[in-house]
Structure 1
Amino acid sequence: MATITRDDRKSDPVINGVFDRPVNQFADARAVLRNDSLRQAGFRADLIERFGNPRFAPILFQHGNRHRAQRAATARFFAPRTVDTKYRALILKESGRLLTDLQATGEGRLDQLTLRLAVFVAAEIVGLTESDPAAMAWRLEHLFSQDAATSGGTVIDLARFVRAQGRMWHFFVRDVLPAQRARRAAPRDDVISHLMKEGYGPRALLTECVTYAAAGMVTTREFISMAAWHILRDEDLRCRFVEADESVRIEILEEILRLEPVVGTLRRKTPDGDQVYAIDVRAANTDAQAMGACPFRIDPARERAERVPGPGLAFGDGSHRCPGASVALLEAAIFLGELVRLPGLALAADPTLLWNPLIHSYEVRDFTVMCRREGS
């Protein structure tokens, strides 16, 4: 019998940091995110402002009419009909291939499988299709690794910066540049083709691709891994997930994501930069006034306040709400729906949980699962 003190969170022990002017209540946090007079202040926004061309700023850092026009122009890539008719088949195919490989060996790193899935799907949407997805996944994992973050001024920080620039260069040469060349010869229906039509050059394309990689690949990987951990550790939740149809699976996944948002802090600032608001997504998503009783429990049937979405603010809100939310949820629903049906599936051990200060995100690593080998 669950009690009011039950806390199902797994990521809480690794969360750290005190940020600017904290915003902890759901209603206040949503109001900040919906305030179009505020500007993006997270994800190294200061570097974009200092060195970037405002006309070609990544969509994450745009605002006002420019941002609205770009969102409208790229909305077709994430429209529900497109997700269902175009990406569903891709997700099913890649999930099947990855899980077939897992069954062939009887053991595998789930955090690596989820990365390969997320990279494959996002690469198709963005247009990074002229390089090997597995190799690109490796490059992106290292590009966004913990040692890419610097804290200021030391020799170690300088070494990290140089290493990060080298990784960025490899991503550009191996993944972005071939995609750009292919689309210059034959444009396609993807994000890179659209950006090239808008006049984006190599540097602007690289910056936008890195933004999409962080939002569509890295965070989706962590979300699916965290959801799998919860489902495999909770037999009741696992049974409910196995027996549910896709819509109910998505409700379960939204509830897990509410409790374990991948990006834990969203920052906004006033135009003059004098005031920075740091939205504590975890606190907002466990605000009992918005989420109902026992907000630290996983309860897909919880009675939330009116107009409060299932994942809370895990996908953001307002004009910068994550456009790929439906893609991430469908990926997770399909992949995990197939995974939990594998004969003999079990955790080898609990995974390691790390913290990435670059994007204020948890990282699920060393997530080894076992299953019955095919033919055994």
Structure 2
Amino acid sequence: MTDTNTPTCPMHDNIDRRKSAPIAYANNRPDEGVHWVKIPAIARKVLRSKSAVQAGAGADLLNYKSPEQAPVFFLDGEEHAKKRRKTLKFLSPKAVSEKHFTVMRRFTDALLEEFKQEGKGKIEDIGFRLAVEVVGEILGLTESNQEGKIRRIGWVLNASISKARNTLLSRFWLNFRRVFFTGIFFFFDVRPAIKARKANPKDDAISSFIEDGYSNVAIIIECLTYGSAGMLTTREFITMTSWYLFENQPLRERFLAGNEKEQLAILMEILRLEPIAAKLMRRVDEEVEGLSEQPLPAGEKYDIDIRNLNIHEDLVGECPFAIDPDRAQRQNDSGKYFSFGDGPHGCPGSQVALHETRIFLEQLFKIPGIKLDSAPIITWNDMVHGYELREALISCDKLS
């Protein structure tokens, strides 16, 4: 483990100043009976293994009759690869640059214009609204009232990541809320989109689902899977990266002066230190060597410790706690490290999240008088194995 008390780094005192570090140290740990992976080489072996399957988010409890209609997150092997190839049609770098950039800029302009009219706001609320609109366009959820859609998606996603207390009544109430909010979301947002796409297919995910014969239930599950991955995590990403740029003027100036590649390098360095998901879970149906004197048998479960992997000097080099935008180029690496996972289940929407955040922050920090009035409050969500940031109050010169 890195010695955080020895100032040997030439550009940094090598002290851990990650904003989410205290709450992560208190909450990020392996599940009982699960192997904790903190060594980069072993983590890559587990995540890239053809024998590794999802073991988180209840994946081992689900059994879909038709793999074609199961969310890509819960599939493995050839079924997963086949469905992921379809997903990349909407999430590839080419799709992002040729199609989604326009959507990102349009919604960014609209949301920031509204912010300037008000003169104040919460960065997490603005970021969530942006994420809902961008992912909604990718999915095809474009046939319902904008404000109502954002509110309904917020209800159903927040219910999906809430944790019930250990009582029968609490579990019943949470399940009721999940079903109720999902039903409202389907009735007002998903059903109108399905109806419109059946009449007039477009180049979006719902049109593709209909073409492949998905049921209504399968379509809404896909929408919620995309929602959790593309809306909730992007909200935290936007809030965390903006927090760093607000508080670090040289970094902010470098971000604003940089080209697209340089801006992405800065965002990925912040994400390396502050990954949204703290760990990933896999079950490996083959022996795994390196964690003990003897190979671990097939069928064991592993928790991949993303936070510690992303500061491991074997992976990221010297000065692991420094924000060094040149790090990845120096190491001939993409700069993502483990922040977006790795292997077959690596995040397919990473390009969307990165560019959505990049475009938004570039415009945000050009607003006259922009400032952070109140730093976010950090809490921990055991359901998503990561931090949440709230009450990040920002203001600007109000338009007259």
* TM bracket (short chain): over 0.9
* 1:220 aligns with one of 209, 214, 234: 234
Q: For residues 304 and 277 of structure 1, do their structure 2 counterparts lie closer, same or farther at Cα, with a shift above 3 Å needed?
A: farther
Does 330-339 or 72-81 show the bigger shift? 72-81
Please, what TM-score do these two structures have when normalized by structure 1?
0.93
The 8 Å contact of residues 292 and 304 in structure 1, kept in 2 or not, is answered as: no
* 2:392 aligns with one of 362, 367, 371: 367
Matched positions, count: 374
Q: What is the CA-CA distance between 1:6 and the residue it aligns to? A: 2.5
2:29 maps to 18
Q: For residues 133 and 2 of structure 1, do their structure 2 counterparts lie closer, same or farther at Cα, with a shift above 3 Å needed?
A: farther
1:119 aligns with 2:144: no
Cα shift readout 1:136-177 (whole Å, capped 9, x = no counterpart): 222232323377223645422322222222122222222222
2:17 maps to 8
1:136 aligns with 2:149: yes
1:333 maps to 358
Cα shift readout 1:1-27 (whole Å, capped 9, x = no counterpart): 853432231112222142221111222
Q: What is the CA-CA distance between 1:287 and the residue it aligns to? A: 0.8
Instruction: Tell me the secondary structure at the aligned position of residue 9 of structure 1.
Output: coil
One-letter code aligned to 2:134: V
Q: Distance in 1 between matches of 2:230 and 2:48?
A: 22
1:83 maps to 96
Instruction: Tell me the secondary structure at the aligned position of residue 394 of structure 2.
Output: strand
Instruction: Tell me the secondary structure at the aligned position of residue 87 of structure 2.
Output: helix
Q: For residues 69 and 56 of structure 1, do their structure 2 counterparts lie closer, same or farther at Cα, with a shift above 3 Å needed?
A: same
Q: What is the CA-CA distance between 1:208 and the residue it aligns to? A: 1.0
1:342 maps to 367
Q: Distance in 2 between matches of 1:25 and 1:355?
A: 24
The 8 Å contact of residues 290 and 304 in structure 1, kept in 2 or not, is answered as: no
2:326 maps to 301
Alignment of 1:208-357 (within 5 A): 208-271=222-285, 274-302=299-327, 306=331, 308-357=333-382
1:149 maps to 163
Q: Distance in 2 between matches of 1:287 and 1:151?
A: 36
The 8 Å contact of residues 8 and 298 in structure 1, kept in 2 or not, is answered as: no
Does 2-11 or 350-359 show the bigger shift? 2-11
Q: What is the CA-CA distance between 1:99 and the residue it aligns to? A: 0.8
One-letter code aligned to 1:18: R
The 8 Å contact of residues 28 and 278 in structure 2, kept in 1 or not, is answered as: no
Instruction: Tell me the secondary structure at the aligned position of residue 387 of structure 2.
Output: strand
Cα shift readout 1:213-242 (whole Å, capped 9, x = no counterpart): 011111111111110011101112111112
Give RMSD over aligned pairs.
Answer: 2.1
The 8 Å contact of residues 291 and 305 in structure 1, kept in 2 or not, is answered as: no
Cα shift readout 1:196-225 (whole Å, capped 9, x = no counterpart): 211210111111111100111111111111
Instruction: Tell me the secondary structure at the aligned position of residue 195 of structure 1.
Output: helix
Moved runs in structure 1, 4+ residues, more than 6 A? none
The 8 Å contact of residues 353 and 364 in structure 1, kept in 2 or not, is answered as: yes
Does 61-70 or 106-115 show the bigger shift? 61-70
Q: What is the CA-CA distance between 1:53 and the residue it aligns to? A: 4.2
* 1:175 aligns with one of 181, 185, 189: 189
Q: Distance in 2 between matches of 1:27 and 1:134?
A: 46
Q: Distance in 2 between matches of 1:55 and 1:104?
A: 46
**Residue identity (%):** 37
Q: What is the CA-CA distance between 1:306 and the residue it aligns to? A: 5.0
1:36 aligns with 2:61: no
Instruction: Give structure 2 stretches of 5+ with no counterpart.
Output: 1-9, 287-297
The 8 Å contact of residues 41 and 269 in structure 1, kept in 2 or not, is answered as: yes
Instruction: Give structure 1 stretches of 5+ with no counterpart.
Output: none
The 8 Å contact of residues 291 and 304 in structure 1, kept in 2 or not, is answered as: no
Cα shift readout 1:98-146 (whole Å, capped 9, x = no counterpart): 1111111111111111001111011111111112233222223232337
1:102 aligns with 2:111: no
Q: For residues 84 and 141 of structure 1, do their structure 2 counterparts lie closer, same or farther at Cα, with a shift above 3 Å needed?
A: same
Q: Distance in 1 between matches of 2:101 and 2:397?
A: 27
2:4 maps to none
